[in-house]
């Protein structure tokens, strides 16, 4: 187990403490400790404060000294990804640029069906290598916790394979992968029954197996015209809830209904929201459901962003996820996407940074991270600058030069 030590001095320590979970936030509400330091013990934060004061108070501790200008903040949290997949959809993207529709792309052998075929055909070893590469990329870019969905095999055996791959990579890498069972992504093309019958099989066969093997505590469903209806989702999610799963919903991307169902069932999050309307925003603001904006999907499809400013002004929380997936969101750069969403939606820096730290943690039901506070995980990142505003000002091109997971340095760029 890691020793107790002091890390610092940081030009600025941006703790993200004292920011509310919901609503708009001014940058003046950010707690910034100049010449800050963090005392870490057994992977958690023992103290934050002025570095020199910490050194005299804890004078016998080892010091992990930072020699250059650096701004430290909590490790980023990506609350929505699909990074366990095989194949590439570059051809789809070229067709999209030519103006081809979703249906035309699917008919030419692309679309999600292509990813399902390649992910089913991939061995667990191959999938582990692909997921390891993407999760490592995220970690080097400062994302220390990543939600990862299944949903590209769409049969019991294949979904178990995906969830086992996610578990195995989680055990091997110094990044937390939080799995989510998205077998209800879409009814697979080779399933001969109705979508209701497909969901029944997931409930009867797959979810009990997921519980038995402890593969995930979360269940997600895609509500949309080409996927599942609100009524189908209600029955499905109620069953999942009764089995003890936390709920998430892909909703309000192209069709309505996801937000009100998420609030009705007490889901942890409702994700996408590109076309969410005023009434749903009001309902969301009075609930505990965390909306997750996915600017990567808007950039990948050339669509509007979720109305982040409106959501925040109405009193909603707002987390931001990359939605990293082979189809609609191939970029996978959470910080760049956050900066882009921020400038288009006029989000303050405090709101943007909250959306990829503790508000994202809340969307995953995690209360042990996302803030640099006593007793929470010492997941931290350091940017090579003396002014925290440089982080979003550089629109994603300024990457963290150091990453700590549970107090251990896992990455350092010279």
Give residues in contact with Zn ion (CB under 5 A). 323
The partner residues of 272 in beta bridges, in order of sequence, read 251, 293
Minimum Å distance from CB 175 to Zn ion?
A: 19
Q: Distance of alpha carbon 158 from its chain centroid, rounded?
A: 23
Looking at the Cβ atoms of 221 and 311, the one nearer to Zn ion is 221
Minimum Å distance from CB 393 to Zn ion?
A: 28
Please provide the DSSP assignment of 225-264 as one string.
TTSB-HHHHHHHHHHHHHTT-EEEEEESSSSS-HHHHHHH
Instruction: Please state whether beta strands 71-74 and 380-383 pair in parallel, antiparallel, or not at all (unpaired).
Output: antiparallel
Minimum Å distance from CB 324 to Zn ion?
A: 9
Closest CA to 251 of 222, 228, 277, 283: 222
Looking at the Cβ atoms of 159 and 323, the one nearer to Zn ion is 323
The partner residues of 405 in beta bridges, in order of sequence, read 408
Looking at the Cβ atoms of 8 and 79, the one nearer to Zn ion is 79
Minimum Å distance from CB 294 to Zn ion?
A: 7
Instruction: Please state whether beta strands 76-78 and 143-149 pair in parallel, antiparallel, or not at all (unpaired).
Output: parallel
Per DSSP, the three-state class of 143 is: strand
Looking at the Cβ atoms of 9 and 258, the one nearer to Zn ion is 258
Looking at the Cβ atoms of 323 and 333, the one nearer to Zn ion is 323
* Residue with smallest beta-carbon separation from Zn ion: 323
Minimum Å distance from CB 297 to Zn ion?
A: 7
Residue ranges with strand state E in 67-155: 71-74, 76-78, 143-149
- Report the distance separating Cα 39 and Cα 37, nearest Å: 7
Closest CA to 116 of 325, 329, 301: 325
Question: How many Cα atoms within 13 Å fall on the side-chain side of residue 401?
Answer: 14
**ω into residue 9 within 30 of 0, thus cis?**
yes
Which helix H or strand E contains 196, and what residues bound it? helix 195-201
Minimum Å distance from CB 82 to Zn ion?
A: 6
Minimum Å distance from CB 83 to Zn ion?
A: 11
Looking at the Cβ atoms of 300 and 400, the one nearer to Zn ion is 300
Which two three-digit tokens encode residue 76?
Answer: 């980023």
Looking at the Cβ atoms of 274 and 323, the one nearer to Zn ion is 323
Looking at the Cβ atoms of 15 and 150, the one nearer to Zn ion is 150
Which two three-digit tokens encode residue 32?
Answer: 């910034």
Looking at the Cβ atoms of 323 and 351, the one nearer to Zn ion is 323
Minimum Å distance from CB 267 to Zn ion?
A: 14
Minimum Å distance from CB 203 to Zn ion?
A: 21
Q: Which residue has the tokens 């303050």?
A: 348
């Amino acid at each position: 187990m890691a020793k107790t030590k002091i890390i610092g001095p940081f030009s600025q320590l941006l703790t993200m403490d004292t920011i509310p979970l919901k609503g708009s936030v001014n940058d003046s509400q950010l707690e910034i400790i100049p010449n800050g330091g963090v005392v870490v013990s057994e992977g958690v934060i023992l103290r934050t404060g002025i570095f020199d004061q910490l050194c005299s108070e804890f004078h016998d501790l080892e010091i992990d000294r930072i020699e250059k200008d650096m701004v430290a903040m909590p490790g980023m949290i990506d609350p929505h990804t699909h990074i366990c997949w095989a194949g590439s959809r570059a051809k789809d993207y070229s067709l999209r640029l030519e103006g081809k529709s979703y249906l035309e792309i699917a008919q030419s052998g692309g679309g999600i069906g292509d990813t399902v075929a390649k992910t089913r055909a991939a061995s667990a070893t191959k999938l582990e290598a692909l997921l390891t590469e993407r999760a490592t990329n995220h970690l080097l870019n400062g994302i220390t916790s990543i939600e990862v969905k299944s949903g590209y095999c769409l049969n019991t055996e294949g979904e178990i394979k995906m969830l086992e791959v996610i578990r195995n990579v989680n055990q091997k890498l110094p990044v937390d992968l939080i799995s989510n069972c998205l077998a209800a992504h879409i009814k697979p093309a080779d399933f001969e029954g109705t979508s209701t019958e497909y969901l029944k099989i997931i409930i009867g066969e797959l979810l009990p197996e997921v519980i038995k093997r402890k593969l995930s505590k979360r269940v997600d469903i895609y509500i949309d015209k080409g996927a599942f209806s609100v009524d189908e989702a209600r029955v499905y999610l109620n069953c999942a809830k009764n089995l003890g799963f936390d709920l998430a919903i892909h909703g309000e991307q192209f069709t309505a209904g996801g937000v009100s169902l998420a609030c009705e069932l007490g889901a942890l999050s409702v994700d996408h929201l590109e076309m969410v309307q005023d009434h749903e925003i009001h309902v969301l603001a009075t609930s505990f459901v965390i909306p997750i904006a996915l600017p990567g999907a808007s950039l990948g499809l050339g669509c509007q962003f979720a109305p982040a400013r409106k959501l925040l002004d109405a009193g909603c929380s707002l987390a931001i996820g990359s939605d990293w997936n082979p189809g609609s969101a191939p970029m996978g750069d959470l910080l760049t996407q956050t900066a882009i969403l921020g400038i288009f939606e006029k989000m303050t820096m405090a709101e943007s940074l909250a959306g990829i730290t503790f508000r994202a943690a809340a969307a995953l039901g995690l209360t042990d991270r996302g803030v640099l506070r006593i007793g929470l995980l010492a997941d931290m990142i350091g940017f090579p600058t003396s002014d925290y505003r440089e982080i979003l000002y550089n629109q994603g091109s300024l990457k963290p030069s150091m990453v700590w997971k549970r107090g251990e340095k896992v990455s350092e760029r010279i």
